[in-house]
């Protein structure tokens, strides 16, 4: 038999002012199962809590209903009091007499009878409450950071500097990402590599960081604190331990005309190559798709050139399995190529380039050593046109969002051009200038006022070649929409920032959600901006949405802080409000029929398949099982279950039906 | 029926509407006393059998309320609830249940005044519609769709006899 205690709080005059607390106390005493019913001026005060504790002991209560304020306010207080008296805290419920009754109704009989109803509802519920125990999950204190751009580097360094282990996985042969490609950065015009490369070296030398370059995430299983990741380390064809990075192999390679990815296609590289001189690790990699040996079966010039015999043509992809407690996704972005724009010549005009290519042209380490030359004939352009919002904010192109950084880097490009070609003319076609950020607006004004870059508010409808030049046709909407035609030597398109082409498959591997543009979706746009809806997975940088370097670094540090918060304890303790699939005696084992509707409804991938087998291993049936480390306790699966085999602890069907019956 | 007071059962999610109703309280906005709230973690938790049970128990009206679309604490629970509701209301309509008695509304944790307005509107409408005896009569007494518990009674076994009867009628 249940032995329920009801404790009615006056909350000074807050409840007692409109509700007849004595009448509620009397009525509560009449409810079957209630063995103790008292009222008191302030239940949450020490004497009030002591009354509850004493009653639990003296009357051997099996459940407690505190009729006071909102459970969102004091449920933890009263549950703690119950726990101190030896009653399982989940056998305590609160009836909300203040926010939902006394404060919102007039003083009359109706209000008191509503208060009695509220108490009765909760008494019926608490009779059916089961003792629940916090779920403890161990934490593996190693973080996996996916992506070695500035986001991944920052997150990895922050975690490693705090004393925790990090495994950093980068797909390319070197870390550094897009930031390593940039010439200067806005709004300070400091050299990108100067600020980035020391960080890259720090990553490589950090005792807490294990770096895997030329590697990708193959699989990710498990849940918060207990992930198991498989990393595919692609065959570099180099023994990284013996290679000294002398570069003799690169000089000997016969293939020298492969477009360099690092130089955004503007420079050339060999088949055995280091992406850029400051690469970390500074070890070459053989590009099997181009290498003569891999294509024709002979050559091996590099092998002969290598003084340390580090070339391994027979190297295979390696699979590394690691246990990690948290994952930071920092896989970055891609920019649209010029071939995306039919109106601008489908990328067939060599002198129409992307902003990223311009970065390489302007960079001192780039293919032209920082001299701005147009790709077709190497002429220094006298007139240059920058087109902002190329693809961005254009629903017709399927990219409705703003790429956020183009306004700033276009101003920077125009400025860099003017600093290098003093007599040159620079035009910028723009829709709006979005220069929100510290010193950003001032930076754009400087480009316009000091460096005399001509800003034209309007879009470019067409670009076509004429007599060795490019005719840019646009409109100036600030001059009564007058058509504008500019004969330019070179055009730079600030093409849209888009998600990585394989962002979707990565999201599926990690079981996290992504938006319509394949950017990874954070758990809450405002309050949980670095967490993903799968617990234990965090996000940093432009794989979540377009963002600039300061924002990326801030988000990466935030993600690192979240990881460190998670790693600050040896075990995670969670509220046991989670779903459970029932289990019963053979031959049913569970009423679950294995339809897995719950699996498709679960936003957290908490539903697992469990095979029930006989002792000799014969499969009886496959049923659902809830991973309690992952389940967040929303109960969507419960409402969906056709065989009513899954139930939510703390809000079970039995409890809620009992509440209704009490009405 | 001038002095009829409807009984309204509200199924609300913990994160938006329950908190919104808390805000109504802290803002001291008065509203009709007729509503009794059932707190659930999420509107996605609402098995619509709960709604039928509530009508069976003598509720004159029902309010279902949770986070606005896109604001769900659990990412997508309210979308499940909305989709389920679109189907369920057609079933209710087919059964002959008076759809005017069910209010589906999004109330965020900041919309204390909206919650009061929703309850007041529902209460005023239901006062005009009168008691919903029709549901217990048709679906409980005649068809035996539910087992209804009365105060003081011990929870009875499912009404097997009534169900068999209904099968024969069908």
- On whether residue A488 sits in a domain, the answer given is yes
Res B157 pLDDT > 80: no
What whole-number distance in Å separates Cα of residue A143 and Cα of residue A164? 8
**Same domain assignment for residues A121 and A50:** yes
pLDDT in tens, A185-217: 999 999 999 999 999 999 999 999 999 999 999
pLDDT score, position B109: 87
pLDDT score, position A136: 87
**Same domain assignment for residues A343 and A487:** yes
Rounded to a whole number, what is the distance in Å from the CA of B148 to chain A's nearest CA?
7
DSSP of A181-217: G-SEETTTTEEHHHHHHHHHHHHHH-TTEEEE-SEEE
pLDDT score, position A318: 95
Considering its fold, how many domains does chain A have in total? 5
**Same domain assignment for residues A42 and A114:** yes
Residues of A within 8 A of B38 (CB-CB) are: 121, 656, 659-660
Res B160 pLDDT > 50: no
**Same domain assignment for residues A293 and A325:** no
- On whether residue A241 sits in a domain, the answer given is no
The chain A residues in contact with chain B (CB within 8 A) are 32, 70-73, 96, 98-101, 103-106, 110-111, 114, 117-118, 121, 513, 523, 533, 577, 601, 603-604, 632-636, 638-640, 648, 651, 653, 656-657, 659-661, 663
**Same domain assignment for residues A194 and A279:** no
pLDDT score, position B149: 60
pLDDT score, position B146: 66
Asked if A461 and A417 count as a contact pair (C-beta separation under 8 A), the reply is no
pLDDT score, position A573: 84
Using CB atoms within 10 Å of the CB of residue A649, give its burial: 0 to 12 exposed, 13 to 18 middle, 19+ buried. Answer: buried
Q: Over the Cα atoms of chain B, what is R_g? A: 17
Considering A567, A598, A615, which residue would you say is the last residue of a domain? A567
Which of A98, A101, A657 is nearest residue B53 as measured by Cβ atoms?
A657
- On whether residue A137 sits in a domain, the answer given is no
Q: How many residues does chain B have?
A: 170
Other Cβ atoms within 10 Å of A366 Cβ, number: 24
Residues of chain A with pLDDT under 70: none
> Which chain A residue lies closest to B78 (C-alpha atoms)?
A636
Angle at A653 between CA A604 and CA A35, to 5 degrees: 125
**Same domain assignment for residues A28 and A117:** yes
Question: Which tokens hold the place of B59?
Answer: 């509720």
Of the residues B44, B54, B58, the best mutation for testing chain A's interface (the one with the most A CB atoms within 10 Å of its CB) is B44
What whole-number distance in Å separates Cα of residue A39 and Cα of residue A58? 17
Residues of A within 8 A of B112 (CB-CB) are: none
Other Cβ atoms within 10 Å of A654 Cβ, number: 14
> ipTM score here?
0.86
What whole-number distance in Å separates Cα of residue A289 and Cα of residue A34? 78
**Same domain assignment for residues A189 and A323:** yes
Res B155 pLDDT > 70: no
- On whether residue A294 sits in a domain, the answer given is yes
**Same domain assignment for residues A587 and A561:** no
Considering A468, A497, A526, which residue would you say is the last residue of a domain? A497
pLDDT score, position A118: 94
H/E stretch holding B119 reads helix B112-129
Asked if A39 and A10 count as a contact pair (C-beta separation under 8 A), the reply is yes
CB contact under 8 A, B38 and A513: no
**Same domain assignment for residues A190 and A203:** yes
CB contact under 8 A, B44 and A117: no
A509: nearest Cα among A323, A209, A231:
A231
pLDDT band at B165 (very low <50, low <70, confident <90, very high): very low
CB contact under 8 A, A651 and B46: no
Other Cβ atoms within 10 Å of B130 Cβ, number: 12
Range of the domain at A618: 579-662
CATH number at residue A473: 3.50.50.60
Which of A32, A72, A106 is nearest residue B30 as measured by Cβ atoms?
A106
- On whether residue A311 sits in a domain, the answer given is no
pLDDT score, position A534: 80
Q: Over the Cα atoms of chain A, what is R_g? A: 33
DSSP of B54-86: HHHTT-SEEEEEEPPTT--TTSSHHHHHHHHHH
**Same domain assignment for residues A202 and A255:** no
pLDDT in tens, B112-149: 899 999 999 999 999 999 998 888 888 877 776 666 66
pLDDT score, position B138: 80
CATH number at residue A64: 3.40.50
What whole-number distance in Å separates Cα of residue A186 and Cα of residue A549? 9
Which of B5, B24, B50 is nearest residue A660 as measured by Cβ atoms?
B50
Asked if A197 and A210 count as a contact pair (C-beta separation under 8 A), the reply is no
What mean pLDDT is reported for chain B? 83
pLDDT score, position A551: 96
**Same domain assignment for residues A228 and A99:** no
CATH number at residue A622: 3.30.70
- On whether residue A549 sits in a domain, the answer given is yes
Considering A544, A567, A590, which residue would you say is the last residue of a domain? A567
**Same domain assignment for residues A421 and A505:** no
Res B158 pLDDT > 70: no
- On whether residue A182 sits in a domain, the answer given is yes
CB pairs under 8 A between A and B: 122
- On whether residue A136 sits in a domain, the answer given is no
pLDDT score, position B159: 40
H/E stretch holding B122 reads helix B112-129
């Amino acid at each position: 038999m249940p032995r329920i205690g009801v404790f009615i709080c006056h909350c000074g005059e807050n409840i007692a002012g409109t509700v007849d607390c004595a009448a509620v106390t009397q009525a509560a005493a009449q409810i079957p199962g209630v063995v103790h019913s008292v009222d008191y001026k302030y239940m949450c005060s020490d004497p009030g809590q002591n009354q509850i504790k004493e009653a639990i002991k003296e009357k051997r209560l099996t459940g407690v209903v505190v009729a006071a304020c909102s459970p969102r306010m004091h449920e933890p207080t009263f549950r703690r009091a119950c726990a101190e008296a030896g009653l399982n805290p989940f056998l305590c419920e609160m009836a909300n007499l203040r926010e939902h009754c006394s404060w919102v109704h007039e003083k009359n009989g109706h209000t008191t009878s509503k208060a009695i109803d509220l108490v009765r509802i909760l008494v019926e519920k608490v009779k059916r409450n089961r003792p629940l125990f916090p779920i403890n999950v161990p934490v593996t204190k190693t973080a996996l950071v996916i992506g070695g751009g500035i986001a991944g580097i920052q997150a990895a360094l922050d975690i490693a500097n705090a004393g925790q282990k990090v495994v950093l996985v980068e797909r390319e042969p070197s870390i550094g990402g897009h930031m390593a490609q940039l010439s200067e950065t806005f709004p300070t015009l400091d050299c990108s590599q100067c600020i980035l490369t020391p960080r890259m070296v720090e990553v490589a030398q950090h005792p807490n960081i294990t770096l895997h370059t030329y590697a990708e995430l193959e699989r990710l299983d498990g849940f918060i604190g207990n992930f198991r990741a498989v990393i595919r380390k692609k065959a570099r064809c180099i023994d990284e331990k013996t290679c000294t990075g002398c570069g003799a192999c690169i000089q000997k390679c016969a293939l020298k005309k492969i477009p360099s990815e690092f130089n955004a296609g503007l420079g050339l590289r060999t088949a055995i190559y280091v992406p850029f001189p400051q690469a970390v690790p500074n070890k070459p990699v053989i590009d099997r798709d181009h290498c003569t040996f891999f294509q024709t079966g002979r050559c091996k010039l590099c092998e002969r050139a290598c003084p340390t015999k580090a070339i391994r043509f027979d190297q295979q992809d390696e699979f590394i399995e690691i246990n990690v407690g948290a994952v930071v996704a920092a896989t970055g972005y891609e920019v649209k190529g010029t071939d995306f724009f039919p109106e601008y010549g489908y990328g067939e005009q060599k002198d129409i380039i992307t902003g990223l290519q311009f970065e390489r042209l302007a960079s001192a380490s780039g293919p032209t050593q920082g001299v701005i030359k147009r790709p077709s004939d190497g002429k220094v352009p006298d007139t240059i046109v920058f087109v902002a919002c190329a693809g961005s904010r254009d629903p017709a192109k399927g990219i409705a969002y703003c790429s956020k950084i183009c306004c700033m880097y276009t101003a920077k490009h125009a400025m860099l051009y003017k600093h290098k070609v003093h007599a040159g003319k620079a035009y910028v076609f723009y829709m709006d200038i979005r220069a929100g950020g510290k010193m950003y607006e001032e930076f754009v004004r400087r480009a316009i006022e000091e460096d005399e870059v001509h800003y034209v508010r309007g879009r470019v409808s067409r670009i076509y070649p004429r007599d060795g030049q490019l005719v840019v046709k646009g409109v100036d909407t600030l001059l009564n929409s007058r058509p504008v035609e500019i004969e330019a030597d070179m055009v730079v398109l600030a093409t849209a920032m888009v998600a990585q082409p394989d962002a979707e498959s990565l999201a599926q591997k990690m079981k996290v959600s992504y938006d319509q543009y394949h950017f990874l979706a954070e758990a809450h746009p405002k309050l949980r901006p670095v967490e993903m809806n799968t617990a234990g997975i965090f996000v940093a940088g432009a794989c979540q949405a377009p963002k600039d370097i300061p924002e990326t670094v801030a988000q990466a540090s935030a993600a690192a802080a979240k990881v460190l918060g998670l790693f600050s304890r040896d075990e995670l303790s969670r509220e046991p409000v989670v779903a459970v699939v029932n289990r019963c005696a053979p031959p049913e084992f569970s009423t679950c029929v294995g339809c897995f509707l719950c699996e498709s409804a679960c936003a957290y991938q908490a539903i697992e398949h469990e095979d029930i087998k006989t002792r000799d291993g014969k499969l009886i049936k496959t049923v659902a099982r809830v991973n309690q480390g992952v389940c967040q306790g929303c109960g969507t699966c419960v409402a969906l279950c056709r065989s009513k085999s899954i139930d939510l602890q703390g809000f079970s069907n039995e409890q809620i039906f009992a509440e209704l019956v009490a009405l | 029926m001038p002095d009829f007071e409807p009984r309204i059962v509200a199924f609300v999610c913990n994160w938006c509407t329950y908190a919104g109703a808390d805000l109504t309280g802290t803002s001291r906005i008065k509203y009709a006393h007729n509503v009794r709230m059932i707190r659930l973690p999420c509107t996605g938790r609402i098995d619509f059998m709960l709604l039928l049970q509530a009508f069976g128990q003598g509720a004159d009206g029902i309010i279902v309320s949770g986070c606005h679309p896109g604001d769900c604490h659990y990412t997508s629970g309210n979308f499940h609830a909305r989709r389920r509701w679109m189907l369920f209301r057609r079933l209710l309509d087919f059964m002959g249940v008076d759809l005017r008695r069910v209010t589906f509304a999004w109330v965020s944790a900041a919309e204390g005044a909206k919650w009061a307005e929703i309850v007041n509107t529902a209460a005023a409408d239901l006062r005009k519609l009168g008691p919903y005896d029709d549901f217990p009569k048709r679906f409980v007494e005649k068809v035996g769709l539910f087992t209804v518990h009365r105060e003081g009674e011990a929870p009875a076994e499912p009404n097997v006899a009534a169900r068999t009867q209904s099968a024969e009628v069908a």
